[in-house]
Amino acid sequence: MDAKIDDKLLAAALAARENAYAPYSKFTVGAAVLADDGRIFTGCNVENASYGLTCCAERNAIFAAVSSGARSFKALCVVADTDAPVAPCGACRQVLAEFPFEKIILANCRGQVKITTADELLPYGFGADALTKNK
């Protein structure tokens, strides 16, 4: 995948971050997903007065993509205003592991980027293979 696509995804994630609804934490996050068919879907974090109902940017982007029929993906980019490229939360790592992403791009608002994979983010994670013996 060429660097121009990474730049496009980062720009989409930064734009989505502008829509973040984070009145409680004030920590705004944006994410963008590139589907195999070339479509890009975005998400931002959406908080709630009942804090536990908050949904992260990564999950909102993935759920938007899946809701539009995408099932396999080339990349996901997530960005926040952190010192180092932002580290996805554990729940998002589990959701990322559900889908075949070729690469995951962690970024911050200073343009620092770390390229990683779902396996690297969630080693020894729970997966569908564990459910097969119940079929």
Which residues are catalytic, by number?
A: 58
- When the beta carbons of 55 and 66 are compared against ligand THU, the nearer one is 55
| Contact call for residue 54 and ligand THU (CB under 6 A) | yes
- Bridge partner list, 41: 33
Q: Which of residues 87-116 bind ligand THU (CB under 6 A)?
A: 88-89, 92
- When the beta carbons of 26 and 133 are compared against ligand THU, the nearer one is 26
Among 49-57, 63-71, 99-107, 116-124, the segment contacting ligand THU (CB under 6 A): 49-57
- When the beta carbons of 22 and 109 are compared against ligand THU, the nearer one is 22
Q: What token pair was written down for 129? A: 């293979």
Summarize the chain as % helix, strand, coil (round to 5): 35, 25, 40
Residue partners of 22: CB distance under 8 A and separation at least 6: 28, 29, 45, 47
Q: Is 46 exposed, middle or buried (0-12, 13-18, 19+ CB in 10 A)?
A: middle
- Residues 35, 57, 77, 96: which binds ligand THU (CB under 6 A)? 57
Q: Determine the Cα–Cα distance for residues 1 and 17; give it in Å rounded to an integer.
A: 24
Among 25-33, 68-76, 102-110, 115-123, the segment contacting ligand THU (CB under 6 A): 25-33
| Contact call for residue 6 and ligand THU (CB under 6 A) | no
Q: Determine the Cα–Cα distance for residues 57 and 62; give it in Å rounded to an integer.
A: 9
| Contact call for residue 25 and ligand THU (CB under 6 A) | yes
Distance of CA 96 to the CA centre of its chain: 7
Question: Which parts of this chain interact with ligand THU (CB under 6 A)?
Answer: 22, 25, 27, 29, 45, 47, 54, 56-58, 88-89, 92
